Structure 1
């Protein structure tokens, strides 16, 4: 399965709902969408991973680079809806500390 992206705007933020797998073959689509939103002046971007069943290192790389690109433009990028394998990879790599909105309970080191 590939990756489908749907962008909406709600409550002053751009929400990208992703569906499918974020991997070497599909991560460029996500990168392009995130870059265009940041470059277009969006200040709050949320990537909804609820319908994403797989994310490899190329997908993680896109999320990290987009996070840094957003910060460089005084914007905020977060992810929501990660579960199962996707949540596990975010937690295992420590990326949950800054990609998932709000630090985990007791964690005060949410900045990178």
Structure 2
């Protein structure tokens, strides 16, 4: 399965809903979408992974780099909806401690 991205905006928050597998072949698409949101000045970015069935190290790299870029710009990136294998890889790597959280109200 490929990757599908859907971006919605609600007040100050932008949510990117991801569907499919995030791997070496699809992570560039996610990277570009998230990078463009940070560069456009969005400060509250939520990445919804509820419909993601697989995420490898290239996908984790995209999330970590974007998290750091958002923080450098005074923003926040939060991951929601991770479950199964995706949640397990986030917890195993310790990335859940700063990526998974409650998104800001808005």
Q: Give yes or no for TM over 0.5.
A: yes
What is the CA–CA distance in structure 1 between the aligned matches of 2:100 and 2:10, rounded to whole Å? 18
2:51 is matched with which residue? 51
How far, CA to CA, are the matches of 1:10 and 1:81 in structure 2? 18
1:1-112 equivalences under 5 Å are: 1-101=1-101
Partners of 1:21 and 1:92 in 2: how far apart?
Answer: 19
CA distance in 1, matches of 2:10, 2:51: 19
Distance in 2 of aligned mates of 1:66 and 1:84? 23
* 1:93 shift after superposition: 0.2
Summarize deviations over 1:65-90 as a string: whole Å, max 9, x none. Answer: 00001011111001000000000000
The alignment partner of 2:52 has SS state of strand
The C-alpha deviation readout for 1:25-78, integer Å capped at 9, x for no partner, is 000000000000000000100000000000000000000000001011111001
TM-score, length-normalised on structure 1?
A: 0.89
Larger Rg: 1
Structure 2 spans left out of the alignment, 5+ residues:
none
Q: Which residue of 2 aligns with 1:110?
A: none
Structure 1: give runs of 5+ residues left out of the alignment: 103-112
Report the RMSD for the aligned CA atoms in angstroms. 0.8
Q: Structure 2 CA distance, aligned partners of 1:53 and 1:29?
A: 17
